[in-house]
Amino acid sequence: MIKIADAVESKTNPRGKKFEGTEFDELVASIKEQGVIVPVLARPIKGGESKYEIVAGNRRFRASIKAGLTEIPASVQELTDVQAREMQIVENLQRVDIHPLEEGEAYRKLIEESRYDVEAVAKKVGKSVTYVRDRLVLTNLVKPGKDAFRDGRMNAGHASLIARLDEKLQKDAVEYTVGHKDSQYHETPTTSELREWIQERVYAEAMKSPPWKGDQEAQAVFEGCEECRGKGTNLFGKGAAEACSNPNCYAQRAAAYIALQLAKSPELVKLSGNYSNDDDLIGRSSYHEIAGRKDGCDHQESGIVVSGEGLGHKKVFCRAPECEKHWVRSAPGGHYKPTKQELAARKKQREDDAKKKAAADKRVLEAVAKVKWPMSEKHLDVLFDLVFRRFGYSYLQPVATRHGVKAVKTKRKYGYMGRDLEKPLVEMAEKNGKTGKLQLIFEIALETQGSDVKVLKNL
């Protein structure tokens, strides 16, 4: 049992801090009658006013406060920030009412924050790799798509199809599925109808520049329709055999062309023109397309797009997570089981990152330890500079307006004109020396509190 007064809610709680409504009120009533049955997860805090941080169970913690409890049962564990964040995400995934979008975002956070690959995430949460990938795909939805999915205006089938498209086509597909915002009458298409609509749009774009354009050998293999053989009038390109405006014919020709290329070059990797991975096909999120010799690397491979945008086109690409040229700050999406060498490279990267973070933490502590009271003028200048780095234009503007200070026009990169408030505010403060700087630091910081009466009274 820990005292509620000694605990504080986690700032990284995945479910946020807004707890209200009928279900929450029912939880409060239940706690009043029976107490908290399932303990919250907490970790000790060294230093500060609070002794514990509630890692998981913020809703129970908040309901206990409202129920008038002074203590709460807790499982107290020593956890690093990374471990605590990971537990929060996994615990959030275990909710019965979790939306597929939230689930996908949680998986992505595990990959980005804990550096897991898709296979490791699937094992950790007890789901299949295919299931996790399908949820991850949903996170690529554009905002109108996410909103429509959350509101129930389209189902998971629609969302899954749309999320695999590029941004522009996604927006069109969302409007086709849910209708325009001003539409009074709109019939939602089935997933099959949406799939056909997408296929037609993808082919229509691809027909403008078919992969076999200029390839006499490939064209000789295809029979095609009357348009392809030059008897039609609605043609793209100069040659009759170059392109065809018939989607069914184009699909057959594309399939034949891809089969021909794979027969000639079996080493070609099958790629997807969609952003995310499709079954055993590698999506655009999982590789870096190499443009020219200068962009090449030791890990580059050759592939051909067999589905989606760019159908039939060949690409040179890099998908190696250990490539320092193309994947410095991120890693390609998981689409295959990593080799032992790749796993070793990822492990070393995590170890190097941990060392860098430890070194950075040490530097921070050493630097802060040098700050003494009374504060030196040099430390005041550092603090003064930090305030302007931390708080942007929106915080400086009301302060400037209060003092009648006007922004000055400045010429920025590429010839753009900007408005600078920092320079005139610094000049205003420096007129009053150290006192002026300290007063401006407080005034800018107060903007984050919305002129809190209690803060102003304490000041």
Q: Could you tell me which residue, 456 or 68, shows the higher pLDDT? A: 68
Question: What is the pLDDT of the chain when averaged over all its residues?
Answer: 80
Q: Is the pLDDT of residue 336 over 70?
A: no
The residue assigned the tokens 């006499």 is 216
Residue 303 sits at φ, ψ, to 5 deg, of -145, 175
Q: Does any domain span residue 126?
A: no
Q: Is the pLDDT of residue 415 over 50?
A: no
- The total domain count for the chain is 3
**Residue pair 298/289 in contact by the 8 Å Cβ criterion:** no
Q: Does any domain span residue 269?
A: yes
Amino acid in position 122: A
pLDDT of amino acid 202: 73
Q: Is the pLDDT of residue 265 over 80?
A: yes
Q: Are residues 220 and 291 in the same domain?
A: yes
| Distance set, CA 446 to CA 389, 395, 420 (Å) | 16, 9, 20
Confidence of residue 254 (pLDDT cuts 50, 70, 90): confident
Burial of 161 (0-12, 13-18, 19+ CB in 10 A): buried
Q: Are residues 310 and 389 in the same domain?
A: no
Q: Does any domain span residue 326?
A: no
Q: Is the pLDDT of residue 438 over 90?
A: yes
pLDDT of amino acid 19: 64
- CA torsion, points 331, 282, 160, 346, in degrees to nearest 10? -20
pLDDT of amino acid 236: 34
Q: Are residues 311 and 381 in the same domain?
A: no
Q: How far apart are CA 122 and CA 107, in angstroms?
A: 9
pLDDT of amino acid 247: 66
Q: Could you tell me which residue, 100 or 451, shows the higher pLDDT? A: 100
pLDDT of amino acid 285: 77
pLDDT of amino acid 448: 61
Max avg pLDDT among 93-102, 230-239, 322-331, 416-425: 93-102
Q: Does any domain span residue 116?
A: no
pLDDT of amino acid 334: 47
Q: How far apart are CA 82 and CA 88, in angstroms?
A: 10
pLDDT of amino acid 132: 86
Q: Does any domain span residue 434?
A: yes
pLDDT of amino acid 335: 42
Confidence of residue 118 (pLDDT cuts 50, 70, 90): confident
pLDDT of amino acid 428: 93
Q: Are residues 293 and 382 in the same domain?
A: no
Give the end of a domain, one of 86, 114, 145: 86
Give the end of a domain, one of 70, 86, 102: 86
Outline where 151-291 has alpha helix (H): 156-163, 167-178, 191-206, 216-221, 247-264
Q: Could you tell me which residue, 18 or 458, shows the higher pLDDT? A: 458
Q: How far apart are CA 321 and CA 349, in angstroms?
A: 10
Residue 56 sits at φ, ψ, to 5 deg, of -140, 135
Q: Could you tell me which residue, 447 or 368, shows the higher pLDDT? A: 368
- CB 212: neighbour CB atoms within 10 A? 21
Mean pLDDT of 166-181: 84
Confidence of residue 244 (pLDDT cuts 50, 70, 90): low
Q: What is the pLDDT of residues 271-326, one digit of tens each?
A: 988 776 766 788 887 888 898 888 888 888 999 998 877 888 899 999 887 788 88
Judged by phi (left if over 0) then psi (alpha if -120 to 50, else beta), residue 451 lies in left
Give the end of a domain, one of 292, 318, 344: 318
CATH number of the domain that residue 75 is part of: 3.90.1530.30
pLDDT of amino acid 83: 81
Confidence of residue 165 (pLDDT cuts 50, 70, 90): confident
* 55-69, 79-93, 199-213: least confident range: 199-213
| Distance set, CA 311 to CA 208, 223, 254, 255, 308 (Å) | 12, 19, 7, 9, 6
Q: Is the pLDDT of residue 430 over 50?
A: yes
Confidence of residue 414 (pLDDT cuts 50, 70, 90): very low
pLDDT of amino acid 381: 93
Give the domain extent around 250.
Answer: 203-318
Q: Is the pLDDT of residue 45 over 80?
A: yes
Mean pLDDT of 117-126: 82
Express as a percent the part of the chain with pLDDT over 90: 17
Express as a percent the part of the chain with pLDDT over 70: 81
Confidence of residue 328 (pLDDT cuts 50, 70, 90): low
Q: Are residues 215 and 286 in the same domain?
A: yes
Q: Are residues 314 and 395 in the same domain?
A: no
From the list 82, 75, 127, the residue with the least C-alpha distance to 100 is 127
Q: Does any domain span residue 124?
A: no
pLDDT of amino acid 416: 41
Q: Could you tell me which residue, 459 or 414, shows the higher pLDDT? A: 459
Q: Does any domain span residue 148?
A: no
Q: Does any domain span residue 224?
A: yes
Q: Is the pLDDT of residue 8 over 80?
A: yes
